[in-house]
Amino acid sequence: MDVISVIRTKRDRGELSPEQIDWVIDAYTRGVVADEQMSALAMAILLNGMNRTEIARWTAAMIASGERMNFDSLSRPTADKHSTGGVGDKITLPLAPLVAACGAAVPQLSGRGLGHTGGTLDKLESIPGWRALLSNEEMLNVLDTTGAVICAAGDGLAPADKKLYALRDVTGTVEAIPLIASSIMSKKIAEGTGSLVLDVKVGTGAFMKTIEDARELASTMVALGTDSGVKTVALLTDMSTPLGLTAGNALEVRESVEVLAGGGPSDVVELTIALAREMLDAAGIKDADPAKALADGSAMDVWRRMIAAQGGDPDAALPVAREQHVVTAPSSGVLTRLDAYDIGVAAWRLGAGRARKEDPVQAGAGVELHAKPGDTVTAGQPLLTLHTDTPEKFAYALESLASSYDVAPAGTAFSATPIVRERIA
């Protein structure tokens, strides 16, 4: 085998053979295939796609690059959730402890930011002392004692995906459906969870812009999971507007704690409870009420134990950006649009995301929303607040916000898109 032949096959719209797929994944993991060569192949896959046979083999090769975990020793059934990424998508933070409070074990392997979307690990690392990297023994111990763990996939779990995940982020190939499906499902299948709920975002702020692409991705992942013995279901959820009122690492942690305390934005609460019900049903837990566990403080108790078990201080003050800039409403009326992608790009440019895989992120950077579509606004009132430690970034962030919102005359009818648009099982 040689990598040039593999690249040319996909460049010329050919089907990669099982042998080609097995070889290129293994060779890339071992460093025989260079980043620039895998970048070329990833771009060819983005442009020309893969059929179901290729995707299944690619996923199997990713799994075979490392170890597989097993949670049979736990007394609880396991349920996991994965989001394809959005703007302001902090759902994992309240969801994992909520589902654990209802009786399931939640082994939540999460990732870092990709492009304009935030990463769960980046958010949680804004909590002083919190550790994303756990050994398999530490992960199992936290899961056993608290009911939930949110951490990075270990080096032994689908190591091919760890390399490719970071590469896709900086080469414009994040949106490739075969690579998204295989990346997510290789980790989740290798992780060993008994059931999985997929939150597939659709809209301007998602990688899947159309409902058709979201269905294709969801159906592909549900099939991969089901064929591997993992009970898998997917919800297609709206990402045309940011979730909640914040986009940025520490900002989103603060909002998540508000949700766990029984408050928080209604859309975040609604989606958290909807996903919790799907996870509990998939795990075979029928008599728990996640809304009650959110209201009575039991989910907050699990959150505090989970954060502390990973070295974090749940009572510590979260980082705050040194500089702020307020964007005001240009006129009075009804806010009819607030584009998720533009908000995500602004947060990224302010320092909440990374341009290269080696880049650090600013914990306090991001965008705070003071209104959502459907709200009445008056000229001059705060619409957005930008947060960053580096004020020279404001101008660059403001460029992405120039056409990110619309204010219609007072009395204009507004119809909100449902948060959960479809269910695929």
Q: Is residue 402 part of a domain?
A: yes
Residue 67 forms part of a structural domain:
no
pLDDT digits (tens, 9 = 90+) for 193-216: 999 999 999 999 998 999 999 999
Within a domain: residue 424?
A: no
**Last-in-domain residue among 242, 275, 309:** 309
Residues 222 and 355 in one domain: no
pTM for the complete prediction?
0.90
Report yes or no: 251 and 89 within 8 Å, Cβ to Cβ: no
Q: What percent of the chain has pLDDT over 90?
A: 86
Which residue range(s) make up the domain with 145?
A: 80-156+169-309
Q: Which residues are catalytic?
A: 82, 161, 168, 183, 187
pLDDT at 341 over 70: yes
End-to-end CA distance of the chain: 38
| d(C-alpha 255, C-alpha 60), whole Å | 38
45 in the same domain as 130: no
* pLDDT in the model for residue 357: 65
My answer on whether 291 and 147 are in the same domain is: yes
Same domain, 216 and 275: yes
Residue pLDDT, tens place only, 41-81: 999 999 999 998 999 999 999 999 999 998 989 999 999 99
pLDDT at residue 165, as a whole number: 81
Residue 73 lies in a domain: no
pLDDT score, position 241: 97
Between 72 and 5, whose confidence is greater?
5
CATH (domain of 264): 3.40.1030.10
In a domain, 72, yes or no: no
Structure tokens at 309: 């078990």
Give, for 174, the enclosing helix (H) or strand (E). none
* Domain count of the fold of the chain: 3
Per-residue confidence (pLDDT) for residue 190, from 0 to 100: 92
Furthest C-alpha separation in the chain: 66
- 12-38 pLDDT tens trace: 999 999 999 999 999 999 999 999 999
Do both 260 and 383 map to the same domain?
no
Amino acid 157: pLDDT: 83
In a shared domain, residues 130 and 256: yes
For 251-265, write each residue's pLDDT tens digit: 999 999 999 999 999
Per-residue pLDDT, averaged over 287-304, amounts to: 96
**Last residue of one domain, picked from the residues 309, 334, 364:** 309
Same domain for 305 and 222, yes or no, is yes
- Residue pair 124/311 in contact (Cβ under 8 Å)? The answer is no
Claim to verify: residue 26 and residue 132 sit in the same structural domain:
no
Same domain, 144 and 291: yes
- Does the residue 12 lie in any domain? yes
Question: Which pLDDT band holds residue 347 (cuts at 50, 70, 90)?
Answer: very high
pLDDT tops 80 at residue 114: no
pLDDT of residue 204: 95
Strand partners, 376: 334
DSSP state for residue 352 in the 8-state scheme: I
- Assess whether 291 and 389 both reside in one domain: no
Confidence of residue 288 (pLDDT cuts 50, 70, 90): very high
- Give the DSSP per-residue string, 358-399: T----TT-EEEES--TT-EE-TTSEEEEEEES-GGGHHHHHH
Residue 421 included in any domain:
no
Q: What is the pLDDT of residue 117?
A: 83
> Could you tell me if 85 and 214 lie in one domain?
yes
Over the chain, what is the mean pLDDT? 95
Is there a domain that residue 285 lies in?
A: yes
Residue 419: exposure state from Cβ atoms within 10 A (0-12, 13-18, ≥19): middle
What is the CB neighbour count within 10 angstroms for residue 330?
Answer: 13
Residues 246 and 346 reside in one and the same domain: no
> CB under 8 Å to 118, separation ≥6 — which residues?
85, 86, 87, 88, 89, 90, 247, 248, 249, 252, 344, 347, 352, 353
Strand order in the sheet with 246-248: 246-248, 366-369, 382-388, 323-328
Ramachandran angles phi, psi of 67, nearest 5° = -95, 170
Could you tell me the CATH number of the domain that includes residue 381? Answer: 3.90.1170.30
